[in-house]
Structure 1
Amino acid sequence: MKVLVIGGGGREHAVIHACARQGHTVLCTPGNPGIAELARIVDSDQDAESLAQLAVRETVDVVIVGPEAYLAAGVVDACAARGVPAFGPTQAASRLEGDKGWSKAFMLRHGIPTAQHATFDDLDGALAHVGSQSTPIVIKDAALRAGKGVTIAHTQAEAETALRDIFSEVDASAVIEDFMTGQEVSVLALTDGERFALTPPSQDHKTIYAGDTGPMTGGMGVICPFPLSDADLETIKERVIAPTLAGMAAEGMPFRGVLYAGLMLTPDGPKVVEFNARFGDPEAEAVLPLLQSDLAQHCLDAANGTLDPQTVQFSDDASAVIILAAPGYPGDPVRGVPLKLPDVGDGEIIFHAGTRMESGELQSNGGRVLAVTAIAPNLNTALARAYALADRVGFAGAQLRRDIGGRIGARAEDT
């Protein structure tokens, strides 16, 4: 097939890697230097209409939309209007991620387990509510914040600071919710709006520093699979994924694409932290290298409402992703740092997340710069290989966490 992938980060590099290894012809916009080794980079304006026109002009068989901002802008709708199958939710359905207040209300309407919460459109009301709550407490910007915009406030002062930051923006809204304890896990479902197939469960590490400390980021490393019990997996299918798809359909906005459930395994069972409407990043860099079947075909089938979950097949291997982030991230990242990439062996991949070519030199061009992935028969070996590969990357001042996998006792050592 001829596939158009929209985006230019590590997630899109992983999607393209999965499509290219099945022999498909892949185009990408806006792309990055790593993607350019696998796909033809196409220059295009990035608004929904221009991207849909590009898909028609290039006569692609399916469009795969990566970042959430494109979904919220209606790229899938624009493609559908021109008869081009596009993998991802419509603009209306992407509200499940794009408006956290609406998403929480949706969960309540459909009995989907999540934390106790309240949503506020004014600073005074939010501050008054926080003042009546104990800490720690979770403060979320209700709008899209690229996986960030979340503060776990351990004091009233931290909570108030987070709220004042959110409401410094026009038309802001905040979700304030109870702090949940337990292991975090990401479960992704490929879906045509009715049928779905789950990827292996994974676990991201969101804060910048080891020990789950420091500011939130878009994700600093992933392990896959996470050791989810059969009972918890069945609960997630029956009480989270299935009722969410049924609820979206009942409300007139069937959800097709990737339904990403970020979950907390609480003492009371799995509860939703938040939904995303696309592949996670960096979860995609861990999950998609384990996919043995044809991603492009699955995306086309899901877009057309004909997904056969039995055809979606993953390896029994494990994967580990180590993010190399720029100095200054998650604040103002330093750009233009020279990058020297080592040779990679079998089962090793370096995905480009924020890179550029400048006068023939590969440089950093974002916060999370590289996603270093390794695949092995077990998680400890995958971690060892991923860290060894990351340590061979030439990247002055790079930030990385040395405790990926530590929450479940995994460790980077040869076995």
Structure 2
Amino acid sequence: MGEQVNVLVVGEGGREFAIARKLQASPRVKQVYCAPGNVGMTTIGVQPVDIAETDFAGLIRFAKEHQVAWTFVGPEDCLVDGIVDDFQAAGLQAFGPTARAAQLEGSKDYALSFMDNYEVPTAQHASYRDQTSAIANVDQFGFPVVIKENGLAGGKGVVIAPDRITAVRTIKEMFDQGQSRLVLEECLQGPEYSMFVLLSDDQYRILPMAQDHKRALDGDRGPNTGGMGAYSPLPQLDPTDRQAMIDTVVVPTVHGLVAGNYHYHGILYVGLILTADGPKVIEYNVRLGDPETQVILPRLATDLFDLVDAALNDQPLPAVKVKDTACLGVVLASKGYPNNPLHGQSLGQLPQKTGISINYANVSGDMSDLHGAGGRLLMVLAQDSSLKDAHDRVYEYLAHLDEPECFYRHDIGDKAGLN
């Protein structure tokens, strides 16, 4: 097995909580540090480190001082800003794509050009640098039309405009708010799925799949968010359709990454819609998704440390083994999220319950007197033999929580036929 080592996770939210928890459980890991982390991570033996995720020099210094074997980067903005390049320049290993490869998430236009170049199926699309040309061409996509900010938007820079009036207003607003480029796309129809691919150049492994719930309110209503809940596995996804996603999307994507000399060592998220014409890509992300990470990692039987360590050192990747269990999680969000979230509300001391895990995200204070720090505060999770049992455990727990300044969705898992 070799001697135990220290690892560092960069980030502070629920995704990083789940990554740190999984790494801390590895017999090959001595200590997981998380920068900046959050106070809730102390409940799982992970040590928060008071260094901002944007302080690359400080993170590098810490990694050297604490003999960190390698660093797992959670947030997309760090990757786009070149944290992996900086770590490599300092002689350190960091799991995630370089800044060039991170443009697959950092620029919608860049990602769509990549898909066109390597024949990865996606929506009809075009990008525009000014509102006049965007408005002049909006009709060609039909309605509803998808309007996307070109850059990073924390999962919230997408508007599905049902008609021309809404589309024109949205285009004007986005350009007026400082966008230099917008992407217009046809609105694909079909169920959405999240596929996560762990990459080491031309090697890849498919992690357990999940389905996210992006809209703030029940019934997929309300504004887009970073995600209000997720579940895994997906009983409604036919194995033939899953294989088609690998054959028609993952394989040409990996081919493109190798052909383009991206030297990709990290996670690639592929957001998919299963259309009547087969699977098509909605978007790439260059890291694990939040909240999906929180429901897929508990189901991963293969040691996450072993997978990442092999990828970083260009060793053969272990096979991905998945537990025969189901996991479902529901986000507790601050009232007003995502547009105007309340900050500072008292959460008190959350009750412990057998069979329930809590992944902390935007919280402050101490564990006996927690406070919300805005946005998505935490996720309540259960892992069980069936999705229905996991679903019922989570919602029973939430029903007994008295948090009037927070809210959550009541229909996570509905698309799997649970209600």
One fold, TM greater than 0.5?
yes
CA 1:272–1:132 in 2, change beyond 3 Å: closer, same or farther? closer
Query: Which of 125, 148, 155 is the matching residue for 2:163?
Result: 155
1:277 maps to which residue? 286
Mean CA deviation greater in 77-86 or 268-277: 77-86
1:200, 1:225 within 8 Å by CA — same for their partners in 2? yes
Deviation digits for residues 137-161 of structure 1 (CA, Å, limit 9, x no counterpart): 1111110011110111112222123
Equivalent residue for 1:34, pick from 40, 55, 58:
40
Query: What CA deviation, in whole Å up to 9, does each residue of 1:195-254 have, x standing for no partner?
Result: 111112111011111111111001111110113222212222122112212212211212
8 Å contact 2:324–2:385 — kept in the other structure?
yes
Aligned residue in 2 for 1:248: 257
Q: How many residues align?
A: 409
SS at match of 2:64: helix
**Structure 1 segment 103-252 matched on structure 2, within 5 A:** 103-170=111-178, 172-227=180-235, 228-252=237-261
Q: Measure how far apart 1:358 and its partner are.
A: 6.7
Structure 1 stretches of 4+ with a deviation exceeding 3 A read none
Deviations 1:358-378 (A, max 9, x none): 796211112111111111111
Tell me, in whole angstroms, the C-alpha distance in 1 between the residues paired with 2:316 and 2:360.
30
Q: Which moves more between the two structures, 121-130 or 391-400?
A: 391-400
Which of the residues 275, 285, 289 maps onto 2:298? 289
Amino acid corresponding to residue 257 of structure 2 in structure 1: M
Q: Would you say the 8 A contact 1:327–1:333 is kept in 2?
A: yes
What is the identity, as a one-letter code, of the residue corresponding to 1:345? T
Give the residue type in structure 1 aligned to 2:243.
E
> In the alignment, residue 20 of structure 1 is paired with which amino acid?
Q
- Alignment match, 1:69: 77
| 1:296-335 paired onto structure 2 within 5 Å | 296-310=305-319, 312-335=320-343
Deviates more, 1:250-259 or 1:38-47: 38-47
Q: Is the 1:166–1:173 contact (alpha carbons within 8 Å) kept by the matching residues of 2?
A: no
* CA–CA distance in structure 2, aligned partners of residues 307 and 366 of structure 1: 42
Which residue of 8, 11, 17 corresponds with 1:13? 17
Counterpart secondary structure, 1:61: strand
CA distance in 2 between counterparts of 1:240 and 1:333 reads 37
Q: Write the mapping of 1:360-375 to structure 2, written as runs, cut at 5 A.
A: 361-375=369-383
Shift in Å, 1:74: 1.0
Q: So what's the TM-score if we normalise by structure 1?
A: 0.95
Structure 2 unmatched ranges of 5 or more: none
Q: What stretches of structure 1 of length at least 5 have no aligned partner?
A: none
TM-score by length of 2: 0.94
Is 1:206–1:212's contact at 8 Å kept on the other side of the alignment? yes
Q: 1:50 to 1:249 in 2, by over 3 A?
A: farther
Task: Provide the C-alpha distance between the structure 1 equivalents of 2:304 and 2:169, rounded to a whole number of angstroms.
Answer: 43
Segment of structure 1 superposing worse, 287-296 or 271-280: 287-296
Q: Which residue of 2 aligns with 1:43?
A: 50
What is the percentage of aligned positions where both structures have the same residue?
Answer: 37
- The alpha carbon displacement at 1:9 in A equals 0.1
- Of the structure 1 ranges 124-133 and 243-252, higher mean CA displacement relative to structure 2 is found in 124-133
- Superposed displacement of residue 298, structure 1: 1.4
Question: Equivalents in 2 of 1:98, 1:211: separation in Å?
Answer: 30
Give me the CA root mean square deviation.
1.6
Match of 1:96 in 2: 104
Answer with 81-90 or 135-144: which moved more: 81-90
CA contact (8 A) 1:85 1:300 kept: no
- What is the correspondence of 1:355-394 to structure 2 with a 5 Å cutoff? 355-357=363-365, 361-394=369-402
Q: Distance in 2 between matches of 1:365 and 1:357?
A: 9
Kindly state the Cα deviation for residue 101 of structure 1 after the two structures are TM-superposed.
Answer: 0.7
Q: Kindly tell me: are residues 313 and 83 of structure 1, through their superposed partners in 2, closer, same or farther at Cα, counting changes over 3 Å? A: farther
The answer to whether the 8 A contact 1:86-1:300 is kept is no
Q: C-alpha separation between the residues in 2 aligned to 1:394 and 1:9?
A: 23
| Cα distance in 2 for residues equivalent to 1:67 and 1:93 | 14
Contact 2:51-2:59 at 8 Å conserved across structures:
yes
Q: Which moves more between the two structures, 113-122 or 127-136?
A: 127-136
